A and B are shown apart, each in its own frame.
Chain A
């Protein structure tokens, strides 16, 4: 049996590397993300409800909905979890969260290997596909509806918008530079299904990516990236995001050196899991919104 949803939400950390990373990215989407943790607290925050009996009913309905596998919530959570682990070592992430904010980048440097641009490009585009698939599982739009997702992006807020901000900042801009859209487009365009199959992040969620065989999935990945490129491009330009601005804000919270940005990216990949953290928060919010409407 999978872990109860209330335990998953109760166990969201209130400090540690992941939380620190997300706090440092507040400058990208000011005020959008609050670290809402705890099942009861999520219900209160999302609904504004104070009546304990109603809160109980909402929680119970949310638990029922989550445990019904046909509703897609468990799959969405699994996707956020799997893709968040990516190529980073989960053990290191757990370790870093234990040590908290004082965990030193420099002491970790000898254990880091920057990802090749190809691997980084695949990781980024697979994470984007994961967002589309998880969005559709949670909100109920058919699984390959890229168009619906792109229009929904315009209304992204809170933890969902923060997840996209982290994706663009930490998985795109920081490791690949200002021309990340061009780089990723040409990498994906020139990729063979065999090469895709060797990527760990792809393999983590392979079965949930629409498209049939690997070649079809590669097509879906490329189409997804193309469809979201405009949004990412204007996200970066409208917020004046640069590698330097991301790095300098990270430095305020995390002990890093900005002349080794590709190492910083590898470090964050190994020591944080912003995807799962904000993914659980998005799921808990949507589940609560549905439960309070249904009771």
Chain B
């Protein structure tokens, strides 16, 4: 029988086993996200050029849009004004192809209001193919348990997300209707 006389030798035998076990555990817990990490770090490193957009539908009598996302600031004037019935809105983020406001009621966060240019993320527009209804003439969908979204002119996604149980699906639809969809379609 093999006898290990030295504690150092024990460590020599067992340490690699422990490290191997830890590595396995780590890989398992990260595996959920490993593909996304690989995809977004290999080759080109820009969300702006992930997949070539194929959206060619535009409103009549307007030139085709650029394949580059619009500046987030372009969307600001089409958000609901929101200073009514105890509601206020606070600017949250304004990035390339994205603008977001926080909607507060009596000082508490109740929802997020967002407009996205889907040109960098065509899957976001593709999901509206499953839409079975419209809001103000544009395809609408429920997404998960907290979001309702509308797709404008096959390119711009307008989304309202609940941040409080008191802000219901009906509230989300009410607030979606307060956006200036026609203005967004004209971008």
Interface positions of A (Cβ within 8 A of B): 1, 4, 6-7, 10, 39-40, 47-51, 53-54, 56, 59-61, 63-65, 67-72, 138-141, 152, 155, 286, 289-290, 292-295
**Please, how many angstroms separate the alpha-carbon atoms of A61 and B121 in the complex?**
9
* B115-166 with Cβ < 8 A to chain A: 116, 118, 121, 123-124, 143-147, 157, 159, 161-163
| CB of B114 closer than 8 Å to a CB of A | yes
Nearest-Cβ distance from residue B92 to partner chain A, whole angstroms:
7
With A47-B161, A56-B32, A70-B46: A294-B146 Cβ-Cβ less than 8 Å: no
**Please, how many angstroms separate the alpha-carbon atoms of A173 and B145 in the complex?**
44
CB of B124 within 8 A of CB of A294, answer yes
Instruction: Classify the interface of chain B: helix, strand, loop or mixed.
Output: mixed
| Residues on the B chain within 8 Å of A294, using CB | 98, 114, 116, 118, 121, 124, 157
CB of B112 within 8 A of CB of A64, answer no
Point out which of A69, A141, A289 has the most chain B C-beta atoms below 10 A from its C-beta: A289
Nearest-Cβ distance from residue B150 to partner chain A, whole angstroms:
13
With A7-B30, A140-B94, A289-B100: A67-B45 Cβ-Cβ less than 8 Å: yes
**Please, how many angstroms separate the alpha-carbon atoms of A290 and B93 in the complex?**
8
CB of A64 within 8 A of CB of B95, answer no
| CB of B48 closer than 8 Å to a CB of A | yes
**Which stretch in B34-42, B55-63, B173-181 binds the other chain?**
B34-42
CB of A63 within 8 A of CB of B98, answer no
| Residues on the B chain within 8 Å of A68, using CB | 40, 45-48
| CB of B90 closer than 8 Å to a CB of A | yes
**Please, how many angstroms separate the alpha-carbon atoms of A58 and B12 in the complex?**
43
| Residues on the A chain within 8 Å of B168, using CB | none
| Residues on the A chain within 8 Å of B45, using CB | 67-69
Q: Count of chain B residues with Cβ under 8 Å from any Cβ of A?
A: 43
CB of A48 within 8 A of CB of B30, answer no
| CB of B53 closer than 8 Å to a CB of A | no
A-B contact pairs, 20 of them (CB 8 A): A1-B41, A4-B33, A39-B33, A47-B146, A48-B162, A49-B144, A50-B144, A50-B145, A56-B32, A59-B32, A67-B45, A69-B45, A71-B95, A72-B95, A140-B96, A155-B90, A286-B93, A290-B100, A294-B121, A294-B124
Would you list the 7 A-B pairs with minimal beta carbon distance, nearest first? Answer: A293-B114, A54-B144, A60-B36, A140-B95, A67-B40, A51-B144, A63-B36
CB of B36 within 8 A of CB of A71, answer no
CB of A71 within 8 A of CB of B96, answer yes
CB of B121 within 8 A of CB of A295, answer yes
**Please, how many angstroms separate the alpha-carbon atoms of A56 and B166 in the complex?**
25
CB of A48 within 8 A of CB of B163, answer yes
| CB of B29 closer than 8 Å to a CB of A | yes
**Please, how many angstroms separate the alpha-carbon atoms of A292 and B148 in the complex?**
11
Nearest-Cβ distance from residue B29 to partner chain A, whole angstroms:
7
| Residues on the B chain within 8 Å of A67, using CB | 37, 40-41, 45
| Residues on the B chain within 8 Å of A6, using CB | 30, 33, 37
Q: Which of the residues A60, A65, A70 comes within 8 Å of B33, measured between beta carbons?
A: A60
| Residues on the A chain within 8 Å of B100, using CB | 289-290, 293
CB of B146 within 8 A of CB of A290, answer no
CB of B32 within 8 A of CB of A64, answer no
